[in-house]
Structure 1
Amino acid sequence: MVGIVIVSHSQKLAEGVRELAAMMTHGDVPIEAAGGLEDGMLGTSFSRVKTAIEEVCGMDGAVVLMDMGSAVMTAELAVEECRDDAVRLVDCPLAEGAVLAAVAAAGGAGLEEVVRQAEAARQMKKLES
């Protein structure tokens, strides 16, 4: 099963997105939250992101979703360090992308399909115009 890592500057935000995505899949998908710094402050921690990737990345790979700025840079460095082609960074809205990725992974989708589903969140409309 494809795993998911949620990277945010805020530990609470990452955990909340993780909780939402896990609820949609009844906890069947490995999802890790990598938010904040070790001292509880806002920021991104390379070691937290790398550890989270290692925790969820099985034979089917993992997707990493980030909020913005240094979270993206930190995730890029952690993925490079892993040197695993089965770990993919995904450019998508964090909450919506996490839910779509988790539902796809729970349904048995492979890595490329999970990435596509998360990226599809960029096209989601919240309001009818």
Structure 2
Amino acid sequence: MCASVPLHRICSANLPNPQSNDTILDFGSACFCHGMVCLLELSGNNAIIVMDDADIQLAVRSMLFAAVGTAGQRCTTCCRLLLHESIYRTFLDQLVEVYKQVRIGDPLENGTLLGPLHTPASRDAFLKGIQTIRSQVIFA
């Protein structure tokens, strides 16, 4: 299963801590220390965290839909994937295989999962992103 990770574990994981996140972390930490549950909307920079006891097949399918299910054009689109190191290779191998099955094309045709971008500016931003991460490509 995909686990929910307590804030104190995330904060102690040596993740980048940009200044814009300081208020969020302070608020979340205060809630945690007082036994309060909080749900923070953090501008749609969503991550999926997959721990070592996860159902890998379920997590892979969930990741695929969260990333491309609505062509990345919703506030809950997954932008980051955090994997436990013991499942890293297995997860990525399976993710590559499911990405190979994604049908890209006309969204009005049955079976198409991912359609075109809606404006030239979106296309340009997408192409710029591709250039930025080209050295990190796992599957092309």
Is the strand fraction higher in 1 or 2? 1
State the structure with more CA Rg.
Answer: 2
TM-score, normalised relative to structure 1: 0.36
TM-score, normalised relative to structure 2: 0.34
Q: Which has the higher contact order (CA 8 A, sep 6+)?
A: 1
